[in-house]
Amino acid sequence: MPARLSVNLNAVAMLRNRRDLPWPSVEGLGRVALTAGAHGLTVHPRPDERHTRMSDLPVLRALIDDEFPGAEFNIEGYPTAEFLELVEKIEPEQVTLVPDDPSQATSDHGWDFVAHRDFLARTVQRLKKNGFRVSLFADADPAGVAAAAATGADRIELYTGPYGSCHDDSASGSNELERLGKTAEAAFSAGLEVNAGHDLTVANLPALMRRLPRLAEVSIGHGLTADALEYGMAGAVGRFLKASGW
């Protein structure tokens, strides 16, 4: 089965936040995305609320529970005490842990699983005790996979930013794709499932799916939101579903 598509709503929220107005509606466009066939919604609420706000989370949780009970809610973030309390309150189906500094514009690297092994293991244990699936943001590096699996996490999410940045360099893109593939194979061998996300587009997604046919989920925000300016949110979701093989 092709990877499930989770629509990241951060870019929508960031556009809304340019004005002190309630549009574009994060809830409304999340509803459009799910109606069009997306399998879930993703947000990354940062402490400064520069895009997704804390007040968005219960609204999106209720949207899924009330209207799309088969969909999933994925919340990303650095596991501060405040973040962990937040996800325990909202109860997403999946929690994706990222090593971001709060001041970063966006996620741009995976965890050093060896250096943060004990910290991640404690955090994963706490989250899984509450019934959440846990995914860890990971660079395309097969050597780190064993340490990621040792934390007890269910999945890694491959950081595909370097692959996405090769949009005008096919040779480099092929090299990055192979690194992603080898990392995914190592993860499967270690008993982990694999997600992927960052700078994925309709153009580069099919090759990723061919090289990593066992991907569980792709989380796409910036590229899909950019497409939505041209095709509408429903049209953009349809294009990404087709590109991923649905």
* Burial zone of 1 (CB within 10 Å; 0-12 exposed, 13-18 middle, 19+ buried): exposed
Mean pLDDT of 24-37: 98
Which among 39, 51, 76, 217 is annotated as catalytic?
Answer: 76
Domain boundaries, the chain: 4-243
Is residue 16's pLDDT more than 80? Answer: yes
For β-strands 72-77 and 217-220, DSSP reports them as unpaired
CA-CA distances (angstroms) from residue 22 to 48, 100, 160, 162, 212?
Answer: 18, 28, 32, 34, 39
Catalytic residue list contains 51: no
Residue type present at position 102 = P
Catalytic residue list contains 44: yes
Specify the pLDDT at position 173.
85
CB contact set of 65 (below 8 Å; sequence gap of 6+)? none
Specify the pLDDT at position 108.
72
Q: What is the pTM of this model?
A: 0.96
Specify the pLDDT at position 107.
65
**pLDDT tens-digit profile of 105-115?**
566 789 999 99
Could you tell me which residue, 197 or 173, shows the higher pLDDT? Answer: 197
**pLDDT tens-digit profile of 131-149?**
999 999 999 999 999 999 9
Dist. CA 160–CA 115, nearest whole Å: 22
Residue type present at position 176 = E
- Residue 211 pLDDT level (bands cut at 50, 70, 90): very high
Mean pLDDT of 81-101: 95
Which among 39, 44, 72, 157 is annotated as catalytic?
Answer: 44
CATH architecture, domain defined by 4-243 = Alpha-Beta Barrel (3.20)
Specify the pLDDT at position 104.
60
Half-sphere exposure of 238 (CA within 13 A, CB side): 9
Determine contact, residues 97/123, Cβ cutoff 8 Å: yes
Catalytic residue list contains 88: no
CA-CA distances (angstroms) from residue 98 to 7, 38, 112, 113, 197?
Answer: 17, 23, 11, 11, 12
Specify the pLDDT at position 100.
79
**pLDDT tens-digit profile of 146-196?**
999 999 999 999 999 999 999 888 888 899 999 999 999 999 999 999 999
Which of 56-60, 83-87, 109-113 has the weakest average pLDDT? Answer: 109-113
Which among 72, 157, 176, 198 is annotated as catalytic?
Answer: 198
β-partners of residue 220 are 7
Is residue 103's pLDDT more than 90? Answer: no
